[in-house]
């Protein structure tokens, strides 16, 4: 089997994609030595080369941290994802920090709140290609949320949503959004505001929590995509508040949207899928992250023997 155009192989057998566009040479690694795998990647690599040519990565620019905070608070895309309550809180905490710095006499819980909000600014700056003089705070590890939906709750959420909710809005698109979130195990930010070029026949190419990743599509997820007249474009607070409204109407307590993703992972593990594969599907940085997330949930499924204290 021969390689498609623009591929070349080095002395160690590694396959690369090379393309010259208007005098600019672009080389991309395929990370494989298999000719068949490389040929399957040809179209994707050609698209990446064009993107790299038309939208080259720029060196990060530097910005004073307090100035970065002001840009963060004034950014329309950032504020569009916040609920009114979150907007008030972020404005209060971050404006106080600009004027006075970190409070000296502050309770541990309040200090942690400050640190989380300041870390969010640093992370946003990094995504925008902006370096700053503020390092991220190392936060104390807290017991993570472990809420998962049982079979009855999951059935209610995915199959028996109310006809209308929140000021009479119809639930068709949002119902499909919930199902798609569960069938993919994706984070809501990864599937909300999808663009057509991110959709491939059997997977999605999305910006993950820390880097780009692929989301595998099963037959149920593919059917939902095919039936969508337009892709979802919700405000973050709309997703949060609407999901809570739906859960309350179905009498499902203590429910959050992210619990769908956690339930997806747990059901895969209980179904016998190796945790390494589950970790890859969820886009975790390592298997250790997956184990840390799901170990507390699996403890209750362990049958302990009764000990004979008289022997």
Do 193 and 68 sit in the same domain of this protein?
no
Q: What is the pLDDT of residue 297?
A: 82
Do 91 and 213 sit in the same domain of this protein?
no
Do 50 and 66 sit in the same domain of this protein?
no
CATH code of 282's domain:
1.10.443.10
Query: Within a domain: residue 30?
Result: yes
Q: What is the pLDDT of residue 247?
A: 93
Do 189 and 238 sit in the same domain of this protein?
yes
Do 181 and 287 sit in the same domain of this protein?
yes
Q: What does pTM read for this prediction?
A: 0.58
Do 85 and 187 sit in the same domain of this protein?
no
Do 86 and 173 sit in the same domain of this protein?
no
Query: Within a domain: residue 240?
Result: yes
Neighbour-count burial of 68, counting CB atoms closer than 10 A to its CB (0-12 exposed, 13-18 middle, 19+ buried): buried
Do 193 and 267 sit in the same domain of this protein?
yes
Q: What is the pLDDT of residue 24?
A: 86
End position of a domain, from candidates 100, 131, 162: 131
Query: Within a domain: residue 143?
Result: no
Query: Within a domain: residue 308?
Result: no
- Residues 6 or more apart whose CB falls under 8 angstroms from that of 231 comprise 193, 194, 195, 196
Do 293 and 264 sit in the same domain of this protein?
yes
- Residues 6 or more apart whose CB falls under 8 angstroms from that of 235 comprise 80, 81
Query: Within a domain: residue 138?
Result: no
Do 161 and 248 sit in the same domain of this protein?
yes
Query: Within a domain: residue 137?
Result: no
Query: Within a domain: residue 236?
Result: yes
Do 159 and 285 sit in the same domain of this protein?
yes
Dig out the tokens for 291 from the structure: 């184990």
Q: Which domain holds residue 236?
A: 151-299
Please report where in the chains the tokens 């698209």 appear, as a residue.
47
Query: Within a domain: residue 188?
Result: yes
Strands 61-62 and 130-131: parallel
For every one of its 311 residues, what pLDDT tens digit does the chain have, with 9 covering 90 and above?
A: 688 889 989 888 889 999 888 888 888 888 888 888 888 888 888 888 888 888 776 666 899 999 999 999 999 888 887 878 889 999 999 999 999 988 887 676 678 888 999 999 999 998 888 889 999 998 876 667 889 999 999 999 998 876 555 454 555 689 999 999 999 999 998 999 899 999 999 999 997 655 789 999 999 999 999 999 889 998 888 898 899 999 999 999 999 999 999 999 999 999 999 999 999 999 998 999 999 888 888 776 666 677 777 75
Q: What is the pLDDT of residue 168?
A: 47
Q: How many domains does the chain divide into?
A: 3
d(CA 160, CA 180): 15
- Read off φ and ψ for residue 304, nearest 5 degrees: -95, 140
């Amino acid at each position: 089997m021969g390689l498609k155009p623009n591929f070349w192989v080095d002395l160690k057998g590694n396959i690369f994609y090379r393309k010259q566009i208007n005098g600019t040479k672009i080389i991309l690694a395929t990370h494989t030595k298999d000719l068949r795998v490389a040929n399957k990647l040809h179209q994707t690599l050609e698209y990446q080369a064009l993107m790299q040519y038309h939208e080259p990565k720029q060196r990060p620019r530097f910005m004073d941290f307090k100035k970065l905070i002001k840009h963060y608070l004034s950014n329309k895309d950032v504020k569009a994802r916040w609920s009114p309550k979150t907007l008030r809180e972020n404005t209060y905490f971050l404006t106080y920090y600009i004027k006075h710095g970190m409070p000296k006499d502050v309770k541990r819980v309040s200090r942690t709140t400050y640190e989380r909000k300041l870390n969010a600014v640093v992370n946003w700056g990094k995504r925008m290609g902006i370096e700053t003089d503020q390092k991220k705070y190392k936060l104390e590890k807290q017991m993570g949320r472990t809420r998962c939906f049982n079979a009855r709750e999951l059935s209610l959420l995915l199959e028996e949503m109310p006809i209308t909710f929140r000021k009479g809005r119809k639930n068709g698109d949002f119902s499909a959004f919930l199902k798609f979130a569960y069938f993919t195990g994706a984070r809501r930010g990864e599937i909300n505001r999808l663009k057509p070029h991110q959709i491939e026949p059997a997977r999605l190419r999305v910006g993950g929590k820390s880097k780009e990743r692929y989301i595998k599509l099963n037959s149920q997820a593919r059917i939902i995509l095919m039936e969508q007249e337009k892709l979802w474009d919700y405000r973050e607070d709309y997703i949060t508040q609407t999901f809570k409204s739906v859960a309350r109407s179905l009498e499902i307590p203590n429910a959050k949207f992210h619990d769908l993703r956690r339930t997806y992972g747990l059901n895969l593990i209980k179904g016998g899928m190796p945790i390494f594969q589950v970790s890859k599907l969820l886009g975790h940085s390592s298997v250790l992250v997956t184990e840390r997330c799901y170990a507390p949930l699996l403890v209750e499924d362990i049958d302990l023997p009764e000990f004979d204290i008289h022997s």
